[in-house]
Amino acid sequence: MALQATSLLPSAFTLPKEGKSSASFKDSTLFGVSLSDHIKADFCSARNKKPSVGAIRAQTAAVTTPGITSAAVTGKKTLRKGNVIVTGASSGLGLATAKALAETGKWHVIMACRDFLKAERAAKSAGMAKENYTIMHLDLASLDSVRQFVDNFRRSERPLDVLVCNAAVYLPTAKEPTFTAEGFELSVGTNHLGHFLLSRLLLDDLQKFDYPSKRLIIVGSITGNTNTLAGNVPPKANLGDLRGLAGGLNGLNSSSMIDGGEFDGAKAYKDSKVCNMLTMQEFHRRYHEDTGITFASLYPGCIATTGLFREHIPLFRLLFPPFQKYITKGFVSEDDAGRRLAQVVSDPSLTKSGVYWSWNKDSASFENQLSHEASDPEKARKVWEISEKLVGLA
C-alpha cells in the first residue's frame, strides 16, 4: 500500500527510514507548496515526541481508561447528564465528537452551528437520538450572532459544563481577503475572534453550575506549531509584532494579516490556530486556579477527509488523504478524531489544565510541546488584550 501511495508523489520527496525522525526535501511543489532543502523537524510530532514523565502517566491512564464511558469523575456521585456546547458540529470533527458524546447517553450536546438545516440533517444521518442534542444557531463570523447565541443559550436555562471551540474556516486559495460582519479578516475573525468572545462570555456560565469537571477546550493544530515538520510547510504561522491584529485586520487602514503582511489565506488559518492555542493558555493562567475549570487544546491528528479542505484545489483534495494515510501516517478518521476530542471533553484522567493534547500511533493521549511562539506567555497576553478590545470587551 505504501508503495502505491508513494507513486502518487514526486520523487523529490524522500521518505525517512523506519525509526528516523527527520525527512529531507529537494525543492518540491508538492500540493502547490515549495519546500526548501533539509527542513529538519519531527516528521510527525505526535508519533515521535518523547513524552515527559508526567505525560507518560497521562498516556498510561488514557490507554487503560475507556475514553468516554464515564461522564462524571470517578469517586463522585454520578449526576445529571453533562451539557456540552460544540461549535461547528454540522460536519467533520465537530459532528463526530457530538456523535461520540451523544452515544454515551451521558451528554446532551448543544450543536452550535451557522446552518441549522445542515446540522439537523447531519445529526440525523449520524444516528443521534433526538433527546441527546439541541441545535442552536451560531455564526462565529458575526459578533452580534455570538452575543445572540449566548442570550439564547441562557434563556434555555440549561447548565453549561463544557464548551468546545471547534468550528473553523480555511481559505488557502483565496487571492483577496474576505471579512466578517465586523470587518475582520474571515479566518482569524471566525476561528479566533468569534471563539474568543464566545468563550469569554460563557466563562461566567461555566462557573455557575456544579459539575465534577468543567472544561473549556479550543481545537488547535500541528500546522500552527513550527516545532514540527507540518508546521514548517510554507507559509509558516507567525504573528510577528501583532501590528495587523492591533489595527483590526480590516485590510483598509491596517493589514488583514496579524503580522501586518500581505494577505495569505493559508497563513491566516495557521495564525488563527496559534491564537487558539495561546488563548487556551492565557485562560489557564488567568482563571484555572480560581475557577477549577480545565482549559485544554489539542491536535486530534490529520483528518484529511473533512470539509475543512473544501476550498482547496481538487487535486489536493484527491491526494491529501492518501498522502496523510500512507506517507506521513498522520491520518486519522473523522470517527477516531471525534472519539479523541470526546475523550478531552469527558475522560476523568484528562483533567489537567493548560495542556495541548496529542495522540501517538497507538491512539494514546499525551501532553505535547507547543512551538516557541504558540507557548509564549507575553504574546498570549498581548493577543488576549488586543482581542478583548476588538470584540468590545475592553
Pairing of strands 162-165, 355-359: unpaired
Q: Which is nearer to ligand NDP, 72 or 138 (CB)?
A: 138
Q: Which does 198 bind (CB under 5 to 8 A by kind): ligand NDP, ligand PMR, none?
A: none
Q: Which of residues 327-356 bind ligand PMR (CB under 6 A)?
A: 328, 330
Pairing of strands 355-359, 107-113: unpaired
Contact pick of 269, 326, 359, 366 for ligand PMR (by CB under 6 A):
269
Pairing of strands 215-219, 365-367: unpaired
Q: Is 316 in the site for ligand NDP (CB under 6 A)?
A: no
Tell me the C-alpha to C-alpha distance, in Å, between residue 312 and each of 4, 184, 242, 317, 362.
23, 22, 27, 7, 30
Q: 264-280 in b/e burial notation, b at 16+ Cβ within 10 A?
A: bbbbbbbbbbbbbbbbb
Which among 28, 103, 4 has a CA at the least distance from the CA of 326? 4
Point out which span in 1-9, 136-144, 205-213, 226-234 binds ligand NDP (CB under 6 A).
136-144
Q: Does the active-site annotation cover 269? A: yes
Report whether 93 contacts 303 (CB < 8 A).
yes
Q: Which does 93 bind (CB under 5 to 8 A by kind): ligand NDP, ligand PMR, none?
A: ligand NDP
Contact pick of 51, 92, 212, 260 for ligand NDP (by CB under 6 A):
92
Q: Is 307 in the site for ligand NDP (CB under 6 A)?
A: yes
Point out which span in 72-80, 147-155, 162-170, 241-249 binds ligand NDP (CB under 6 A).
162-170
Q: Is 88 in the site for ligand NDP (CB under 6 A)?
A: yes
Q: Which does 44 bind (CB under 5 to 8 A by kind): ligand PMR, ligand NDP, none?
A: ligand PMR
DSSP 8-class letter at 307: G
Q: Is 237 in the site for ligand NDP (CB under 6 A)?
A: no
Q: Is 116 in the site for ligand PMR (CB under 6 A)?
A: no
Q: Which is nearer to ligand PMR, 15 or 61 (CB)?
A: 15
For residue 121, give every residue at least 6 positions away whose Cβ sits within 8 Å of its Cβ, in sequence order, or none: none
DSSP alpha helix (H) spans, the chain: 2-6, 45-48, 53-64, 92-103, 116-125, 143-155, 186-187, 195-208, 243-246, 265-283, 289-291, 314-322, 334-346, 377-390
Return the ∠ at Cα 293 (arms to 287 and 297), rounded to 5°.
90
Q: Is 140 in the site for ligand NDP (CB under 6 A)?
A: yes
Q: Is 386 in the site for ligand NDP (CB under 6 A)?
A: no
Q: Is 280 in the site for ligand NDP (CB under 6 A)?
A: no
Residues 271-310, one symbol each (x = binds ligand PMR by CB under 6 A, - = not), give: -------------------------------x--------
Binding stretches for ligand PMR (CB under 6 A): 30-31, 33, 35, 43-44, 170, 172, 221-223, 229-230, 233, 266, 269-270, 302, 328, 330
